[in-house]
Amino acid sequence: MPTRTLDSPPQILPLYARAAAPLVPGASLLPFVPGGGGEIPDLELELGGVSAEPAALAAYAKVCGFALRDHLPPTYPHVLAFPLQMAVMADGSFPFGAVGLVHVENRIHQQRPVASGEELTIHVRPTKLQPHPKGSTFALQTIVLAGDEVVWDETSTMLRRGKPAENAKAPAMREEARSQPEEGFEALPGDAPAGAEWRLGGDLGRRYAAVSGDRNPIHMHSLTAKPLGFPAAIAHGMWTKARCLAALESRLPDAFVAEVRFRRPILLPARVEFASAEVDTSQETEIAFAVRDAGKKTEHLDGRIR
């Protein structure tokens, strides 16, 4: 599978226009518009010379609750990689549009802290479709290198709602950097006491979009979320994960894996609670955490750090 090397970061707004184009009847017949159906293509994008801009990094840290340090928040490489992820899903060979996809799982492996000014190379590729009770899923696999060293990698699992897809085997990424998904993890017990309560404003989706570039209409406003099947705008899954890791920041080691499952969308505005606890396994001590509705106690997210 050839790797397509980019000279500069893709521009997000034109990518969203292409990603949304399949919603227009007949637009998918155009060769540069995704949505022609079929299988997800073998496609890998590479971009070098990537680094965080101080002002953008500070704005992100403020929205997500991270302290400003001399290294990146563990979720910030996702933001740096997001233009490439969108470019993959907006490619004319992609079988459906990205607008309306739901992020259902995310796994980050930080192999060491990434310095704020470090120059990075990013690779992104998709996996094949897998069946799901609510449609089909695929993953966007991302690796981040500093020189020849892999410092961070991620697997983001996306749900396309609809009829289940035929089973397909996910291809491996680069062997030395592949993220191997775990078989699963035990969720934090539902009666674990809350350590914090967060009040989320109706504008949270727009505020996170401004610092992340993720302007999926399901997050922006109820008027744009309702045509896509949601009764109101929903919080970004990656904001929720970032806010959890910010709350645990003082307990994070230099190298760790943070896995989350997005259980139910957080309809904005909302009042949620955060809980965490150390869990002893046969091999090590892990941190389990969860985000729940503050009133109904229904779970929006559960996760594990090891």
Q: In this structure, what CATH number is given to the domain that contains residue 141?
A: 3.10.129.10
* pLDDT the model gives residue 163: 76
Q: Is residue 228 packed enough to be buried (19+ CB in 10 Å), middle (13-18) or exposed (0-12)? A: middle
Q: Which long-range CB contacts under 8 A does 247-253 form with residues at least 24 apart?
A: 247/65, 247/195, 247/196, 247/274, 247/276, 247/289, 248/276, 248/287, 248/289, 248/305, 249/66, 249/67, 249/73, 251/287, 252/74, 252/305
Residue at a domain's end among 181, 198, 222? 181
Q: Are 98 and 90 in contact (CB under 8 A)?
A: yes
pLDDT of residue 72: 98
The answer on 225 and 177 residing in a single domain is no
- Note the pLDDT tens digit of each residue in 255-285: 999 999 999 999 999 999 999 998 887 777 8
pLDDT for the residue 178: 37
Residues 14 and 138 in one domain: yes
Which pLDDT value is given to residue 25?
59
pLDDT tens per residue, range 106-122 = 999 999 999 999 999 99
The three-class DSSP label of residue 84 is helix
Distance, in Å, from the CA atom of 120 to the CA atom of 50, rounded to the nearest integer, reads 5
What span, in angstroms and rounded, lies between the C-alpha atoms of 48 and 71? 19
218/303 same-domain check? yes
Structure tokens at 121: 């190379």
* 144 & 44 share domain: yes
Enter the pTM of the model. Answer: 0.87
Residues 236 and 175 in one domain: no
**Pairing relationship of beta strands 120-126 and 44-50 according to DSSP bridges:** antiparallel
Task: Point out the residues of the chain with pLDDT beneath 50.
Answer: 168-182
Together in a domain, 16 and 111: yes
The C-alpha angle with vertex 151 and arms to 81 and 68, in degrees rounded to 5, equals 70
Residues 87 and 104 reside in one and the same domain? yes
**Cα four-point dihedral sign 241, 105, 259, 51:** negative
Residue located via tokens 């010379």: 49
**Do 145 and 56 belong to one domain?**
yes
Structure tokens at 186: 């035990």
Q: Do 65 and 203 have their domain in common?
A: no
Domain range for residue 132?
A: 1-181
Q: In this predicted structure, what is the pLDDT of residue 23?
A: 60
Q: Which of 181, 207, 236 is the last residue of a domain?
A: 181
Q: Say what the pLDDT of residue 172 is.
A: 39
Q: What is the pLDDT of residue 126?
A: 96
Measure the CA–CA gap between 36 and 222, rounded to whole angstroms: 28
Which one-letter amino acid corresponds to residue 210? A
115 and 227 part of one domain = no
Where a domain ends, among 132, 157, 181?
181
Sequence-distant (6+) residues with CB within 8 A of 282 are: none
Same domain, 94 and 144: yes
CA distances from 227 to 37, 193, 207, 231, 250 (A): 21, 37, 21, 9, 41
Provide the domain count of the chain: 2
Looking at the structure, do residues 27 and 164 belong to the same domain, yes or no?
A: yes
Q: Extract the tokens encoding 265.
A: 């969308």
How far apart CA 108 and CA 75 sit, in angstroms, is 8
Neighbours of 253 (CB within 10 A): 9
